[in-house]
Amino acid sequence: MDTLFRLVSLQSDQSLNSSRTSSSSRSSRQNPYQQEDEECFNIFMDDEDFSSSSSKHYNPYPHHQLHHHTASNTPTPTTTTTTGSATPTHHHVYDQSANQFSYSPARDVTLEFAASLSGHDSKWASDILLETAKAIADRNSARVQQLMWMLNELGSLYGDIDQKLASYFLQGLFSRMMDSGDRTYRTLISASEKNCSFDSTRKMVLKFQEVSPWTMFGHVACNGAIIEAFEGANKLHIIDISNTFCTQWPTLLEAIATRSDETPYLRITTVLVSKAGGANGGSSGVQKVMKEIGSRMEKFARLMGVPFKFNVIHHAGDLSELNLAELDIKEDETLAINCVGALHSVTTVGNRRDSLISIFRKLQPRLVTVVEEEADLDIGVDGVEFVRGFQESLRWFRVYFEALDESFPKTSNERLMLERAAGCAIVDLVACPQVDSVERRETAARWSHRLQGGGFRPVSFSEEVSDDVRALLRRYKDGWSMVQGSDSTGIFLNWKDQPVVWASAWKP
């Protein structure tokens, strides 16, 4: 029953892949030492490792001279000892070259982080990563190289939190160095979308809800506020700009179905935003998932006896450029706009975030609900601004990874999917041009400022809604709590005293 969705046909994928790679490997840059076809064979031979890799060099700043290690240029012996001619003299020669090669490039950096690495409760990944960001800001390429080497050696996508952070942030920093952030991001997104299925998505979302209030917190708060705002109205329309796969709506449908007065007519228009130009054919996976979700929603509404219409809009590009006509808002509808993690997908360049808010204002909604993760991830392009934003990203993703780590079992594919998504976000933040970024979160204070500037006033959540949220948090492990925002602007979900998610409601 849940297997309606299937992976993209194996055959087309495979032929695509093999032909792509076969042509690319042929057209690939040849090793300068081996030009003839005949000699190409050599690169499969014994010492190809060193000869080919020594032709590689990485130069973060082309105008800077990169510190080259003797190691990479050391010619490697071309014979092995199995030839039977090994003599003491040979040994001597070999030993010498061995010594040259095993020259340790980073004795000093090793010592620098020795304490951090051996500490019991250490956060070595954050320490090394922050130093790397500083070295990047200082354009100290030799140091960047050594620190990246450490991160590469120590990191692992499947290890502990520090190893994961090291790995995901290294990917970001590395893409930044290679100036390939955009491409890396697209490859990551298209790989994940290609393998995205309704089943895996459903499992991931449900498991996340089961073990952590991260998403449910916003759902419960917003649904409470929306239901209260919709009281008395009988033609309802929710513009749902979110990435939570409609998991918010079943409880709302239930609440509406049990309303004391006449059951109203409900429309939900879900807007899914993806980066412009990205995800060409890849988003077909997401489209299929949403189609399946839509039909399930309709089925559920029928079951509940709620007259219901569901619509999905796939919007590629910045949210502020959304074609409002597509929303098909009717004169007689009571409108609510529900934004979950939507505002931070708008670019920080220009005044797009404020202009989106004024667009919302023009739609004259009865209510706007905003859920955002509480962080200030406006990473600057360079220098001190970059380091500051990078440091905040490190803090934020460590909290996120820790929360995931304590909520999920140790060997969970669902957690892995969430971590991978975070990895994409890190590439976006660290390596992609600011104008294309969809991950630059802001703090509640800044959002409130923007919303108030756009002609909205905050609506506090009623005592009833707050009670619902507290009841929700009791279902999870210790460590979660709810805290009121200042000036009645929303509520925070705290994890171990750190605010992580902010939910708020606004009226024009």
Partner 1 sequence: MSHNPRYLQATHNFSLISPLLIHNHQIPQVIILNHHASNFRFPTRCANSTRPITCQSLHNFSCHFLLESFLPKVHILLIPFHFSPIMLHSLLPTLQHNPKASSSAMTSAGKRAVDVASPSVAEPSKRHRTHLSPVEKDLQSEEEGEDQLQAVAAGASAREDDDSTGLRLLGLLLQCAECVAMDNLDDAGQLLPEIAELSSPFGSSAQRVGAYFADALSARIISSYLSIYSPFSPLCKTHHQKLLNALQIFNSVTPLIKFSHFTANQAIQQALDGADHVHIIDLDIMQGLQWPGLFHILASKSRKVKSFRITGFGSSADLLKSTGQRLAEFATALNIPFEFQPIEGKIGNIKDLNQLNIKAGETIVVHWMHHCLYDVSGSDLGASRILTMLRPKLITIVEQDLSHGGSFLGRFVEALHYYSALFDALGDGLETESVERHTVEQQLFGCEIRNIVAVGGPKRTGEVKVERWEDELVRGGFRPVSLAGNPAAQANLLLGMFPWQGYTLVEEGGCLKLGWKDLPLLTASAWQPCE
The residue (of 91 and 457) whose beta carbon lies closer to partner 1 is: 91
When asked if residue 280 is in the footprint of partner 1 (CB under 8 A), the reply is no
Considering only residues 338 to 377 of the shown chain, the ones binding partner 1 according to CB under 8 A are none
Residue whose C-alpha is closest to residue 67's, from 79, 59, 76, 78: 59
**Contacts made by residues 257-265, CB under 8 angstroms, sequence distance 24+:** 257/304, 257/305, 257/306, 261/232, 261/234, 262/234, 263/305, 263/306, 263/307, 264/230, 264/233, 264/234, 264/235, 264/236, 264/306, 264/307, 265/234, 265/235, 265/236, 265/307, 265/308, 265/309
When asked if residue 107 is in the footprint of partner 1 (CB under 8 A), the reply is no
Q: Is 273 helix (H, G, I), strand (E, B) or coil?
A: strand
Binding mask 32-51 for partner 1 (x = CB under 8 A): -----xx-xx-xxxx-xxx-
When asked if residue 128 is in the footprint of partner 1 (CB under 8 A), the reply is no
* Distance of closest approach, residue 247 Cβ to partner 1, in angstroms: 23
The one among 106, 137, 387, 399 contacting partner 1 by CB under 8 A: 106
186: left (phi over 0), alpha (psi -120 to 50) or beta: alpha
The residue (of 37 and 497) whose beta carbon lies closer to partner 1 is: 37
Scored b (16 or more CB within 10 A) or e, 291-311 reads ebbbebbeebbeebebebebb
The residue (of 44 and 332) whose beta carbon lies closer to partner 1 is: 44
What is the identity of the amino acid at 392? E
When asked if residue 254 is in the footprint of partner 1 (CB under 8 A), the reply is no
When asked if residue 21 is in the footprint of partner 1 (CB under 8 A), the reply is yes
**Contacts made by residues 119-127, CB under 8 angstroms, sequence distance 24+:** 122/162, 123/162, 123/398, 124/154, 124/162, 125/151, 125/154, 125/155, 125/161, 125/162, 125/163, 125/165, 125/166, 125/169, 126/162, 126/165, 126/394, 126/395, 126/398
Give the tokens for residue 442. 């802001």
* Distance of closest approach, residue 145 Cβ to partner 1, in angstroms: 5
When asked if residue 13 is in the footprint of partner 1 (CB under 8 A), the reply is yes
When asked if residue 91 is in the footprint of partner 1 (CB under 8 A), the reply is yes
When asked if residue 488 is in the footprint of partner 1 (CB under 8 A), the reply is no
Considering only residues 258 to 277 of the shown chain, the ones binding partner 1 according to CB under 8 A are none
The residue (of 66 and 257) whose beta carbon lies closer to partner 1 is: 66
Considering only residues 411 to 430 of the shown chain, the ones binding partner 1 according to CB under 8 A are 411-413, 416, 420
Give the tokens for residue 488. 């009645």
- What is the rounded distance in angstroms from the CA atom of residue 155 to the CA atom of residue 165? 8
* Distance of closest approach, residue 153 Cβ to partner 1, in angstroms: 4
Q: Is 278 helix (H, G, I), strand (E, B) or coil?
A: coil
* Distance of closest approach, residue 216 Cβ to partner 1, in angstroms: 24
The one among 4, 18, 295, 433 contacting partner 1 by CB under 8 A: 18
When asked if residue 57 is in the footprint of partner 1 (CB under 8 A), the reply is yes
- What is the rounded distance in angstroms from the CA atom of residue 506 to the CA atom of residue 459? 5
Q: Which of these ranges, 71-79, 227-235, 268-276, 388-396, lies near partner 1 under the rule CB under 8 A?
A: 71-79
The residue (of 225 and 430) whose beta carbon lies closer to partner 1 is: 430
Residue 251 belongs to what H/E stretch? Answer: helix 249-257
Considering only residues 387 to 416 of the shown chain, the ones binding partner 1 according to CB under 8 A are 409-413, 416
The residue (of 286 and 337) whose beta carbon lies closer to partner 1 is: 286
Angle, CA of 165, 168 and 169, to the nearest 5°: 80
* Distance of closest approach, residue 340 Cβ to partner 1, in angstroms: 25
CB within 8 A of 34, min separation 6: which ones? 40, 42, 43
How far, in whole angstroms, is CA 73 from its chain's centroid? 38
Considering only residues 137 to 166 of the shown chain, the ones binding partner 1 according to CB under 8 A are 145-146, 148-150, 152-154, 156-159
The residue (of 46 and 382) whose beta carbon lies closer to partner 1 is: 46
How far, in whole angstroms, is CA 235 from its chain's centroid? 36
Beta-bridged to residue 272, according to DSSP, are 314
* Contact between 505 and 461 (Cβ < 8 Å): yes
When asked if residue 192 is in the footprint of partner 1 (CB under 8 A), the reply is yes
* Distance of closest approach, residue 405 Cβ to partner 1, in angstroms: 13
Number of residues engaging partner 1 in binding (CB under 8 A)? 99
Rg (CA), the chain: 27
The residue (of 6 and 64) whose beta carbon lies closer to partner 1 is: 6
Beta-bridged to residue 308, according to DSSP, are 266
The one among 2, 108, 110, 471 contacting partner 1 by CB under 8 A: 110
Dihedral angle at the C-alpha atoms of 358, 360, 363, 368, nearest 10 degrees?
-130
The one among 62, 65, 82, 261 contacting partner 1 by CB under 8 A: 82
* Distance of closest approach, residue 202 Cβ to partner 1, in angstroms: 16
Residue 373 belongs to what H/E stretch? Answer: strand 367-373
* Distance of closest approach, residue 161 Cβ to partner 1, in angstroms: 13
When asked if residue 188 is in the footprint of partner 1 (CB under 8 A), the reply is yes
The residue (of 313 and 426) whose beta carbon lies closer to partner 1 is: 426
The residue (of 177 and 375) whose beta carbon lies closer to partner 1 is: 177
Q: Which of these ranges, 109-117, 204-212, 227-235, 334-342, lies near partner 1 under the rule CB under 8 A?
A: 109-117
The one among 69, 143, 275, 353 contacting partner 1 by CB under 8 A: 69
Considering only residues 209 to 228 of the shown chain, the ones binding partner 1 according to CB under 8 A are none
